[in-house]
Structure 1
Amino acid sequence: MNEISLANPLFATYAIAASIMILKAVGMSWLTVLRMMQVKGGYRSPEDLRRTPLNPAPNPAQLQPDERVERIRRIQMNDLENLPFFLAAGFLYVLSEPSLVEARWVLYGYVVSRLLHFGAYLSARTHDTRATLWTIGSLLLVYMAGRVLVVALGG
């Protein structure tokens, strides 16, 4: 590869895909807080029951799990379980110098699969739907790692 620089279209493709995934993962924290504020519950820590301007009428029931909040937390946990693998595999994959067309299909394909997975999880689609979308992303990770191994081993 010529360089690890945003001037390099191959690396820029990775940087775009990685940035979208990072922003999506960070956005999940914001979505969790928004949902907790909407339902006035789903809090986890006892100190969250203190009277504040954002919680003027604390209630012990606010510490009970709320499915609307927990769903967002599960989505975020799924992101946190998958994003590090993508960031590492995607970076190494770019170092294997695939064609720009292939890299765009693979990296952006991963992003699309994760965004669709998010939509399916948020809208309570069946496990089969979520699993299918997760599998697409997972297979793309396997492909990236496999290509890196083949190229690194001189194949």
Structure 2
Amino acid sequence: MAATSLFVMENKVFSAYLFYCALILLKLLIMSPITITYRMLTNSFMNIEDTRAPVLGTRDPDKQKRALVPNESVNRVRRAHQNDIESIVPFTILGMLYVAIKPDFATAEFVFKVFAGARIAHTPIYILGVPQPARFVAFLVGFAVNMYMAMQVIMASKPELNMSVFSLENAAFVSLLKYGSVVLVKLVAMSPITIMYRKIHKSVASEEDAKMAQPNDYERQKKLMAKNTEVERARSAHLNDLENIVPFFLTAMLYITIKPDASTADLLFKIFAGSRILHTIVYLGKVPQPSRALCFLGGISVNCYMLFQIMNAVFL
């Protein structure tokens, strides 16, 4: 197969990669609604405005206070989500490189299936608290797949990449560069914003930071290390960005490969960028619900639409 035809639908290896990659990215996106569901079921929320939301909220100050207490079931779902991010992101990148070395189709499809199955199994095992080593085995299988692909790519003499759709002649790719840069700048800016919030509210993340700020005062060090709700709000906004912007980039790169209509792609990227910028403003500004939920839905809807288009292109 010529190098120019590696990243096209006619290449069965790439087609299989697209499907299983879209499947696990969809699974990754679903983790956010699962977390929301657990919060509702356990009446455990991260922010005061969530406790006052219509229907599920309350005006009782004592109930609001109890609803802000961390819940282990919710934290377990969030840790499962974080583990997905740490495993799925490397897979999508390594998978693209693996396709470039022209592996055997049966082997490649098996590798992609095993990884997808391992990650899908990992989540219910984690959330339901199935005894070890079940979760470790599910994690290890996915890790082994990533290591296998990485070693295959390293041992290949000359991986060949087709970058034809990823050029400035492709209007859809140009749109991704433009709006992708906007959301990346916004994502990077969350770190200095969090630092600024820490300075304003006199809250540090670790013992060494407290010792540096108050070298000889243990009591003040303890106060500095206490969690601050405003700082945690900024950190939550940052985490929410990571949970949505990383899948967006991976999904958008796959979406570009199916050669979508340029104007449609441009609109999707604009909607995503706008929804993520608004999400942070609404989050940090403590704007009442459902404003933040609507911003979140705008972004996740774009990601889901692109993923379904990718899977549709594979089979139709």
**Fold shared per TM-score above 0.5:** yes
1:72-111 alignment, distance < 5 Å: 72-111=77-116
Tell me, in whole angstroms, the C-alpha distance in 2 between the residues paired with 1:93 and 1:151: 9
Which whole-Å deviations, capped at 9, do the CAs of 1:1-56 have from their partners, x for residues lacking one? 42312232111110011101100010000101111112221x11233233534313
Tell me, yes or no, if the aligned pair for 2:51 and 2:64 is still in contact at 8 Å: yes
Task: Tell me how many residue pairs correspond in the alignment.
Answer: 153
The DSSP-based 3-state class of the residue aligned with 2:133 is helix
Aligned to 1:29: 32
Aligned to 1:140: 145
> Which residue type is aligned with residue 74 of structure 1?
R
> Which residue type is aligned with residue 39 of structure 2?
M
Q: What TM-score, normalized by structure 1, do the two folds share?
A: 0.90
> Which residue type is aligned with residue 5 of structure 1?
V
Which whole-Å deviations, capped at 9, do the CAs of 1:83-128 have from their partners, x for residues lacking one? 1101101111111110110001111111111111112112211231
Aligned to 1:55: 57
Among candidates 121, 125, 140, match of residue 120 of structure 1? 125
1:132 is displaced (CA, Å) by: 1.1
Instruction: Call closer, same or farther: CA 1:123–1:51 in 2, change over 3 Å.
Output: closer
Aligned to 1:5: 8
Bigger mean CA offset, 60-69 vs 18-27: 60-69
> Which residue type is aligned with residue 30 of structure 2?
G
Tell me, in whole angstroms, the C-alpha distance in 1 between the residues paired with 2:99 and 2:6: 11
| 1:16 and 2:19 aligned | yes
Tell me, in whole angstroms, the C-alpha distance in 2 between the residues paired with 1:62 and 1:116: 30
Flag structure 2 segments of 5+ consecutive residues without an equivalent.
160-316
> Which residue type is aligned with residue 36 of structure 1?
R
**Between Structure 1 and Structure 2, whose CA radius of gyration is higher?**
2
| 1:45 and 2:47 aligned | yes
Instruction: Call closer, same or farther: CA 1:51–1:86 in 2, change over 3 Å.
Output: closer
Tell me, in whole angstroms, the C-alpha distance in 1 between the residues paired with 2:158 and 2:132: 38
Tell me, in whole angstroms, the C-alpha distance in 1 between the residues paired with 2:53 and 2:122: 37
Aligned to 1:64: 69
Flag structure 1 segments of 5+ consecutive residues without an equivalent.
none
The DSSP-based 3-state class of the residue aligned with 1:70 is helix
1:153 is displaced (CA, Å) by: 5.5
Tell me, in whole angstroms, the C-alpha distance in 2 between the residues paired with 1:31 and 1:51: 18
Tell me, in whole angstroms, the C-alpha distance in 2 between the residues paired with 1:138 and 1:122: 19
Instruction: Call closer, same or farther: CA 1:54–1:101 in 2, change over 3 Å.
Output: same
Which whole-Å deviations, capped at 9, do the CAs of 1:51-86 have from their partners, x for residues lacking one? 534313451111111122111111101111111101
> Which residue type is aligned with residue 29 of structure 1?
S
The DSSP-based 3-state class of the residue aligned with 2:117 is helix
Amino-acid identity (%): 26
Aligned to 2:204: none
